Chains A and B, each alone.
Chain A
Amino acid sequence: MYRQARIYIKTAFIQLAISVILGAILLTNTGLTINPYLSLLVPVYYHLLMAGWATQLIGGVALWMFPPLSRERPRGDERFGWVAYAALNGGLLLRAVAEPLHAIRPQLWTSWALVISAILQAGAIWLLVMALWPRVKGRTEVGRS
């Protein structure tokens, strides 16, 4: 397994651990109502789990296992993968901070933090799709690339 795939997969594991802890806190809060503001973290929880864990793990495994693009450049342009990695995790982190704060007390900086987080996350996904797209192909196409 090459370095980029390892970093994707290990970061996905970390996001899984964070999401499960957050999910446990939210579940406990639903039963015991420790702090009503905690429920504002529900969208963050879903996105850490689905984007930070599931999509990032799938991306890492796909980057590792999908058919090579060509003999010379088996993984294509790895920069797509690195920028996607930074944007996805940066966007999720920004969202985790700004979304609950914006729900409690909307301010100009939290509004723009949400916009930047949206651009980072959506841009990351598009870059990941661009990195994976040419590698979704049959065995016979390898020699031609």
Chain B
Amino acid sequence: MPRASIFLIRTALLNLALGALIGGLLLADKGLHRWGWLWALRPGHVYIMLLGWTVQFACGVAIWILPRRDAEGGRGAMWPVWVLYGTLNSSVLLATLYAPCLGWFGAERIVWMLPLAALLAVTGIGAFLGHAWRRVRPFGVMTTKRNA
């Protein structure tokens, strides 16, 4: 498993654990009605589970397991994968913190957070597609460096 996949998959697992903790606290609060402030984290729970966990995990596994680019076993340029890692996790962080920050700073001062989170997510997925697109092909169809 390449280093980038290890980072993506382990960060996805951390997101899963964090998302489950927030979700568990929210569900418990439905019964106990003790922590009303927690509901500011509900949009973050959804975003963590969809992008931070599911999408990030799928991308990490795809980078590991898709057919290699060439007969030497290379996976191609890995910098787009690191762009994905940085932008996707920044996006999840911004989108998760937006609702709690509303109460602290007011909507006017953090109006940039969600558009930036959206831009980062789109950039990350674009970088992932740039890396992975050409690796989606039948097994055995490989190119050497000479005829690549």
Contacts and interface: CB of A to CB of B under 8 A. Distances in A.
A complexed with B? yes
Interface of B: 1-3, 6, 9-10, 13-14, 16-17, 20-21, 23-28, 30-32, 49, 53-54, 57, 61
10 contacts: A55-B54, A112-B31, A115-B31, A117-B27, A118-B31, A122-B23, A136-B9, A136-B13, A138-B2, A138-B3
A115 B14 CA distance: 23
A2 interface: no
B24 A137 contact: no
Nearest to B2: A138
A55 B49 CA distance: 10
Nearest to A136: B9
Interface string A85-97: 0000000000100
A34 interface: no
Given A114-B30, A115-B28, A136 B6 contact: yes
A137 B6 CA distance: 6
Interface residues of A, number: 32
Interface stretch (A16-24, A70-78, A124-132): A124-132
Contact of A132 (B13, B20, B25): B13
Contacts of A95: 27
Contacts of A112: 31
Contacts, number: 75
A119 B6 contact: no
B30 A99 contact: yes
A112 B49 CA distance: 25
A7 interface: no
Contact of B6 (A110, A114, A122, A138): A138
Interface in A95-118: 95, 98-99, 102, 110-115, 117-118
Chain A at the B interface: SS class: helix
A122 B10 CA distance: 18
Nearest to A88: B20
B30 A119 contact: no
Given A99-B30, A119-B24, A119-B28, A55 B9 contact: no
Contacts of A15: none
Contacts of A138: 1-3, 6
Contacts of A62: 61
A97 to B, nearest CB: 13
A119 B26 CA distance: 11
A8 to B, nearest CB: 15
Contacts of A54: 54
A98 B23 CA distance: 16
B24 A129 contact: no
